[in-house]
A = this chain, B = another copy of it.
């Protein structure tokens, strides 16, 4: 009950995309047949309605075309019927019923990356996507893709495959998932376009497991094209909104797979390092009764008959864990900022990697631990994710990320002096603007040859209320930011651990004490000196890889204008 497809390629036109759709008439329908074909339309220029003569002529031409097409299709259909009857390979291809766990199978599916010369001449089953297909006489070349690996597969008319089978294969839409049985054959000439360069798969059976619709919203090859190549050679690239609107397809590219593989690695290395250092992982609530960083930029949630807020950071809770004797804690979780900023580095929801720990006598004990954690992450990425780094670099070329050991630490005052020397006018207690931050990054890179450094001792006025003032100069504070390629990725400080001073500081910032009562009360029953910081995961990923937009490193980014997918 499996039927092949009945179209032929018209020479010089782009190949037709044929939809192979499964008929879902019932769950017990084991072998539904192919029921629909659609042809991708060529995009024409918009027509001027005034040009009626031209339009008429065009209509006539189209009518003729349609008639010819109908005639041809009728002919093809009758040919097809004849072919169907005599198709000796008709059980070797088709569209089986949707996999609904009808039965268990001990069939082994081999990974594409394991299709190598060592396994030459073995017959194997592979499940993969049709990356591209190209029919050529009695042959059809497919590129089968599995994550970042791909292999060439050949369906050729012969003992095992019929003409109809080759046609069927040629008509499988790009991105469809197929099960293929084939023999691994060594090739004489390397296949440069595939990761498996030394072999190809000679297809014996091919079944469509899940058919893709013929019209893809974006082409994978466009989505991985280097921007420079696109510009220089006038080839298509995909703009960011199209990518994000069709994120499921965009995420299939080798670049995306590498970005998010590496991002998963950052989390893993962060946890590994901290667990080794004796930290405990905590889980903090995201629905909170009071805005943690003052009232601004906070999302409001309807909470039964009252309202609540989304946590702008786990700040208050990780500190409460410190007061509860957990000593060294970390957490990884979403952080919410209702900031109407539409920049390359702001998201309304991002992933925070948070650290908080007690120290003995000086908050630099904590700064050193955090900096070392980041250095361990950088090193781990270099070591374990070299393939991913290279893959991303192909599309988005950039210099390797440089860092020093121990990490460079400058005082805010020194940073301001460097900026002033470079012609910037700014006050002592003024915060760094984004351009100044970047400029300082360049100056530091020139002088110290590092993409990672710490800026210590910020002016007290530009930091949150819970920041410990500097003991020598009340204008400054025991707080710090860390930067990668000139952009802030971490903000941290020694925290005030005394309830009275905390109350004074909150009042100074105009914060409603009633709302943070349970937080302040946490410090009334013995609180150790402590410090910490929060890291933005998407920023670290972006800046490590030298990318230019944080939306590239958030799987499903949220900004003031984007809530889907």
A interface residues with partner B (beta carbon < 8 Å)? 21-22, 24, 27-28, 98-105, 107, 109, 127, 129, 146-147, 175-177, 209-213, 216, 247-249, 251-252, 256-257, 260-261, 263-264, 267-268, 271, 275, 280-289, 299-304, 306, 308, 310, 317, 320-321, 323-327, 332-334, 336, 338, 340, 348-349, 351, 360-364, 468-472, 474, 478, 494, 497-498, 500-501, 504, 518-519, 521-522, 524-529, 537, 554-558, 560, 563-565
- Complex Cα spacing A308 to B301, Å: 9
Enumerate the 10 nearest inter-chain pairs by beta-carbon distance, A residue then B residue, closest first.
A518-B565, A251-B324, A100-B471, A212-B526, A289-B563, A105-B361, A99-B529, A212-B525, A264-B281, A248-B522
A248 and B525: CB pair below 8 A?
yes
B99 and A565: CB pair below 8 A?
no
Number of copies: 2
B286 and A349: CB pair below 8 A?
yes
- Complex Cα spacing A519 to B362, Å: 51
Q: A101-B478, A212-B526 are in contact. Are A340 and B283 (CB under 8 A)?
A: no
A251 and B537: CB pair below 8 A?
no
- Complex Cα spacing A3 to B527, Å: 22
B285 and A501: CB pair below 8 A?
no
Q: A280-B260, A285-B556 are in contact. Are A248 and B101 (CB under 8 A)?
A: no
Q: A268-B275, A281-B264, A563-B303 are in contact. Are A526 and B211 (CB under 8 A)?
A: yes
**Interface of A: prevailing SS:** loop
A363 and B101: CB pair below 8 A?
yes
Q: A100-B471, A285-B556, A324-B248 are in contact. Are A360 and B107 (CB under 8 A)?
A: yes
Partner of A283, one of B268, B308, B474, B537: B537
Which residues of B sit under 8 angstroms from A558, Cβ to Cβ? 285, 287
Partner of A101, one of B310, B471, B474: B471
Partner of A248, one of B177, B267, B285, B323: B323
